[in-house]
Amino acid sequence: MLCSTLLGCAQPGTQAACAAPLKPAVEVNLYFGRDRPSGGEVSDAEWASFLAESVTPQFPAGLTVIDARGQHRDPAGVIGAERTKLLVVVVFDPPAHRAKVASIVDTYTKRFGQHEVFRVEQPVCAG
């Protein structure tokens, strides 16, 4: 495996072996589609409010938000593209972050009528 040989990447589900001063952590990526199933889009103001009220209190130490363009297949099988917000959080307290992430996802799906929020987690070295 090229990644393991050259970069020392951790396998999924394993903890990274980190060189000081870095420490093992988990990178959480959440992909928030902005199209509403009922029509329209989550506005910039609505996103900013959601971020301030629901995300920042869960991860006050820091996070990153990236504007992206996503593609997905909806429950009816239709492939669509939409503007997306990618939220990246690095946590040092797994699995304590899981309830926080679940709360964020639940709030977003209910508030904006979304089917889901795509989630990726991977072990990383950070510091």
Residues 6+ apart with CB under 8 A from 120: 28, 29, 31
Where are the domains positioned within the chain?
Answer: 2-126
Looking at residue 1, its pLDDT comes to 29
CA–CA separation, 87 vs 32, rounded Å? Answer: 8
pLDDT of residue 89: 98
Top-level CATH class of 2-126? alpha beta
The pLDDT value given to residue 36: 92
pLDDT band at 14 (very low <50, low <70, confident <90, very high): low
Minimal CA–CA distance to 100: which of 114, 127, 74, 119? 119
Report the number of secondary-structure helices (H) and strands (E) in the chain: 3, 4
Please indicate, yes or no, whether the overall pTM of this predicted structure exceeds 0.85.
no
pLDDT at residue 6 greater than cutoff 80 = no
Average pLDDT, the chain: 88
